[in-house]
Amino acid sequence: MNPDLVLTVNGRRYRAPRQPLVVVCVDGCEPEYVNQAIAAGRTPFLASMRERGLCLTADCVVPSFTNPNNLSIVTGVPPAVHGICGNYFWDPDAGAEVMMDDPRYLRAGTLLAAFADAGAKVAVVTAKDKLRLLLGHRLSGICFSSETADRVTRAANGVEGILARVGLPLPSVYSAALSEFTFAAGVELLAHERPDILYLSTTDYVQHKAAPGITAANDFYGMMDGYLQRLDALGAAIVVTADHGMNAKTDAFGRPNVLYLQDALDAAFGRGTTRVILPITDPYVVHHGALGSFATVYTADPAASPAVASHVATLPGVLSVLTREEAARRFELPPDRIGDLVVVAERLSVIGTSASRHDLSGLTVPLRSHGGVSEQQVPLIANRVPPAPLPAGRRWRNFDAFDLALNHLQ
């Protein structure tokens, strides 16, 4: 592609990559995971970035969930613009609770598609298949998920034979291996297809189970470190960020601090008067029981919203209750895709709907989750030192990853 190209995507300008650019979204990468892995001596490559690279602390999108943040990273804009504000929402047109994983809900084009249209070779590997259609929307390039790596075809995914090429077994969707496959596939693609832009998105299976510094977590970051080192050795500019952080959501005895908000509202206002939606909900709930720190509430009678809000504010575990307008403004969310109220839980608490609708039998270890402002801070790491000082006082966002890489580090 033309190295002097400047593209404008969703109102932001980006220079073309002058060497292969790898942007990695490490699902659930609370900054402390990296810190503890470095302290344990498990990540020599990341440790070397203290001298050779850059580390900022950035704010992700709230709700601090996977899909809104991955879409923000690849569009460079908040959900108010791209439209994806959860995994799951109440679709008033359909009159139903539906997954928001279909590109028809996407309101902005991606940087990936725009660069591909401008002549760049673009490749995307996502751990879970739930993101593939959104990340690959209108993308002329390579796009597949590790979860379905055995079904990758040139026609559908722009590449073939990936399982054999990567040389790892097809991973379970609930495993650290799902992320490892994503990194290994990224190295394979960078070495042979040599994309101009490679986007890798992992899964937070490990982070939901292991706290920073715990063996399984250090093992994960040690694994990641090895692949980052190989991407670096292949000459790539690398930016590593995260979709969200991760916190314990339990009491000191490891029991989940859950506010069953639908139960509480049914008890206070009667059944059918409110509908609690948990945007964390997706088909993969075993490791978190669909429990996160963010919920929206629809009220059958909008005039009742203030009374509902006042009541919710008194419930244990609630950090803040915002009206649709307040939440849309503060968190840059599409007002038509959130409820009349947005409820954010405290750092150690999560919100459920009704106790009877959550299967916690898969929680074999104390719950760790995300969704709130307590999981908003994520790393923004690069294997480059900026040639000129970065703007002072700027609030960096995880969806500045491409801006940082293309406009400030080359």
Q: What is the residue whose two structure tokens read 């504000």?
A: 85
In whole angstroms, how close is the CB of 254 to a second copy at the nearest point?
A: 4
Residues linked to residue 241 through DSSP beta bridges, in sequence order: 25
314 lines the binding site for a second copy (CB under 8 A): yes
In whole angstroms, how close is the CB of 388 to a second copy at the nearest point?
A: 19
365 lines the binding site for a second copy (CB under 8 A): yes
Give the interface segment with a second copy, choosing from 8-16, 153-161, 174-182, 310-318 (CB under 8 A): 310-318
Q: Whose Cβ is closer to a second copy: residue 54's or residue 112's? A: 54
Beta-sheet pairing, 318-323 with 341-345: antiparallel
Residues 6+ apart with CB under 8 A from 172: 178
17 lines the binding site for a second copy (CB under 8 A): no
Q: Whose Cβ is closer to a second copy: residue 305's or residue 374's? A: 374
109 lines the binding site for a second copy (CB under 8 A): no
299 lines the binding site for a second copy (CB under 8 A): no
Among 5, 39, 81, 133, binds a second copy (CB under 8 A): 39
CA 206 – CA 224 distance, rounded (Å): 12
First to last CA, the chain: 16
Q: Whose Cβ is closer to a second copy: residue 55's or residue 133's? A: 55
Give the interface segment with a second copy, choosing from 26-34, 75-83, 132-140, 288-296 (CB under 8 A): 26-34
279 lines the binding site for a second copy (CB under 8 A): no
Among 381, 401, 405, 406, binds a second copy (CB under 8 A): 381
User: What phi and psi, each to the nearest 5 degrees, are found at residue 107?
Assistant: -105, 5
Query: How far lies 283's CA from each of 130, 176, 292, 366, in Å?
Result: 9, 18, 15, 21
Tell me, what amino acid is at 375?
Answer: E
57 lines the binding site for a second copy (CB under 8 A): yes
CA 210 – CA 366 distance, rounded (Å): 9
Helix/strand/coil for 200: strand
Query: How far lies 265's CA from each of 79, 87, 272, in Å?
Result: 28, 23, 10
253 lines the binding site for a second copy (CB under 8 A): yes
CA 9 – CA 140 distance, rounded (Å): 16
Give yes or no for a contact between 342 and 324, defined as CB atoms under 8 angstroms apart: yes
Q: Judged by CB under 8 A, how many residues of this single chain contact a second copy? A: 41
Among 1, 7, 55, 286, binds a second copy (CB under 8 A): 55
Q: Whose Cβ is closer to a second copy: residue 131's or residue 315's? A: 315
170 lines the binding site for a second copy (CB under 8 A): no
Dig out the tokens for 402 from the structure: 């491409």
Helix/strand/coil for 309: helix
CA 344 – CA 167 distance, rounded (Å): 43
395 lines the binding site for a second copy (CB under 8 A): yes
CA 186 – CA 200 distance, rounded (Å): 7
Q: Whose Cβ is closer to a second copy: residue 38's or residue 185's? A: 38
285 lines the binding site for a second copy (CB under 8 A): no
38 lines the binding site for a second copy (CB under 8 A): yes
Dig out the tokens for 141 from the structure: 């390039």
Q: Whose Cβ is closer to a second copy: residue 32's or residue 282's? A: 32
List residues binding a second copy (CB under 8 A): 29, 31-36, 38-39, 46, 49-50, 55-57, 211-214, 248, 250-255, 257, 314-316, 346-348, 365-366, 374, 377, 379, 381, 393, 395
